[in-house]
Structure 1
Amino acid sequence: MTSRYLPWSLSAMVITLSSFTVHADATNQQVRTEPRGFIYGVGVGLNQELYQDYRRRVVPIPIVGYRGERLSVYGPFVSFDVIKDEHMTVSLRLAPRFAGVDESDSPVFAGMEKRKTSMDVGAGIQLNNQNWRYEVAILADALNNSNGYEISSSVGYFYQTGPFFIEPKLSLYHSDSKLVDYYYGVRPDEATAQRPAYRAGSVINYGAGVSFATPIFAGGMTRLGLEHRWYGDSIADSPLTDRRRGFQMFFSYSRFF
């Protein structure tokens, strides 16, 4: 049986929350220097699945990480800032794509070859204009599983109310045909009378969400991310799915050693 996984949308949420909290930490301490050091904690992800008979899953995420001047490690998510100033950050990124499934996860996968989890590498650029944040990133499969890639873009507004830091955000995700077909396609030799062969094309998905962070609990940083996602036809029309929208949540608590 495959391990419980984060969908790629929730992976993006984790990356967003880890960078989002840097702003919260710095603002809370009222200093220009971001806090640095080793981090530990625990997180949990909740995903509303699109696959038939596979409605939701809960994903525990142990967090051991590090935040330096340029290097940030948040559990299995890693970024290195190549360029960084007050208004722009260009970073290299490494992130797992916990999107694998096998026959034990749902009857709809019976007789299908396992779809594997993978590791993505890529880069992103973030622009900050006062409280507004604009971001574009590209991540591509590094383990030759799907051999696909995803481009994400977002706009968010970061603000503080008391000890709480909030960022509502709108996002757009373009996944290429190789990525979508690997996880939502049905190969000809996997087709049945109830599950016809299906070749998925590229897709654009839309998201609307909000992130929260606060340092008021037990001397650490508590984070909560919520996102509602609308999926394009190439995913919604797959014989493996029976819905076109879903909800993701990520919650974590972490602190410096």
Structure 2
Amino acid sequence: MKIEVVLVAAFICVAVTGGGFAGEADESTVEPSKPERFIGGGAVISSKPYEGVDSKVYPVPMFGYEGERLYIRGIGGGYRIFRKGGWSLGPVVRPRFDGYRASDSRALAGMKDRDLTVYGGVALGWLTGRGLIGANWVTDLLGRHSGQELEVSYTARFPLAGFDLIPSVGLSYKSNRLVDYYYGVRASEARDWRPAYKGGAATNPFVRLVARRKLVGQWELLGTVQCEWFDREIMNSPIVDKAQSISFVGGVLYSF
């Protein structure tokens, strides 16, 4: 339960992030505007790819800070060491909440728990007149699996019917150690109905849409949907029964 709640906070930060840098794309200059702070509450529906583990709904807090260089998005954040001419570069830290407990479903009985971890790395962004092109590389800081992840994405922003729509598309490359840890089945965990499986590196495409709408004063509505499609290296795992992961977030924010 606690893991899923923290996952929601991190996912909501992605939505707040979209509003932060996408807003900058509308400026005639790439110099940042004044810092933005968000606080609020809402709910999330998040799916898990593991067999027998259903989607769940949780009430959650929403919070974030977007400054000229420092940004804090819930329980993750970063710092832009370099920022000039639309380019930015700096370190990032964020959690990863994949994983499960063997007690989560009968299909996972006999498996060892797979734990959350913390990633650290570097993020590169290029803000153009048509949107933001981003890339970030992170590695496991806690030694859970010692794997890495590389994500590249394109994000734009446009108004429609009173909403700010912020769509993103991208690819997420996950190293073989990461995939094997979260989706593999060790020899000691194999059963007659669950063969051993060693996962290899995977590349997952994803899409994300953030929608924001002003209400009154500093209040606004926020909604986010994200879908990530799994590479065969993940889908072929005997403990995975879904081809994609889908998450929904909705809530109300107060900015100050």
Structure 1 60/143 Cα, relative in aligned 2: closer, same or farther at 3 Å?
Answer: farther
Counterpart Cα distance in 2 of 1:138 and 1:3: 23
Counterpart Cα distance in 1 of 2:88 and 2:46: 29
Tell me the equivalent position of 1:18. Answer: 16
**Paired letter, 2:227:** H
| Maintained 8 Å contact 2:22/2:166 | no
1:39-50 map, 5 Å: 39-50=38-49
Structure 1 96/45 Cα, relative in aligned 2: closer, same or farther at 3 Å?
Answer: farther
User: 1:178-199 deviations in whole A, cap 9, x for unaligned?
Assistant: 1111110011111111111111
| Maintained 8 Å contact 2:123/2:134 | yes
Tell me the equivalent position of 1:4. Answer: 4
Pair 1:232-2:198 in alignment: no
- Give the Å deviation of 1:52: 0.8
Structure 1 232/24 Cα, relative in aligned 2: closer, same or farther at 3 Å?
Answer: closer
Structure 1 20/33 Cα, relative in aligned 2: closer, same or farther at 3 Å?
Answer: same
| Maintained 8 Å contact 1:163/1:216 | no
- Give the Å deviation of 1:82: 1.2
**Paired letter, 1:72:** Y
Tell me the equivalent position of 1:68. Answer: 67
Quick check: 139-148 or 57-66, which moved more? Answer: 57-66
- Give the Å deviation of 1:162: 5.7
- Point out where structure 1 has 5 or more consecutive residues left out of the alignment: none
Structure 1 241/194 Cα, relative in aligned 2: closer, same or farther at 3 Å?
Answer: same
Structure 1 180/158 Cα, relative in aligned 2: closer, same or farther at 3 Å?
Answer: same
Structure 1 ranges of 4+ moved more than 4 A: 5-8, 23-33
- Point out where structure 2 has 5 or more consecutive residues left out of the alignment: none
Quick check: 163-172 or 191-200, which moved more? Answer: 163-172
Counterpart Cα distance in 2 of 1:35 and 1:254: 18
* TM-score, scaled to structure 2: 0.86
| Maintained 8 Å contact 1:133/1:158 | no
Structure 1 236/187 Cα, relative in aligned 2: closer, same or farther at 3 Å?
Answer: same
| Maintained 8 Å contact 2:17/2:73 | no
- Give the Å deviation of 1:92: 1.6
| Maintained 8 Å contact 1:24/1:213 | no
Structure 1 33/2 Cα, relative in aligned 2: closer, same or farther at 3 Å?
Answer: closer
1:34-183 map, 5 Å: 34-36=33-35, 38-85=37-84, 87-161=86-160, 163-183=162-182
Quick check: 225-234 or 207-216, which moved more? Answer: 207-216
Quick check: 72-81 or 185-194, which moved more? Answer: 72-81
Q: Count the aligned residue pairs.
A: 255
Give the secondary structure class of the aligned counterpart of 1:4. Answer: helix
| Maintained 8 Å contact 2:211/2:222 | yes
Give the secondary structure class of the aligned counterpart of 1:3. Answer: helix
* TM-score, scaled to structure 1: 0.86
Counterpart Cα distance in 2 of 1:163 and 1:135: 27
| Maintained 8 Å contact 1:209/1:227 | yes
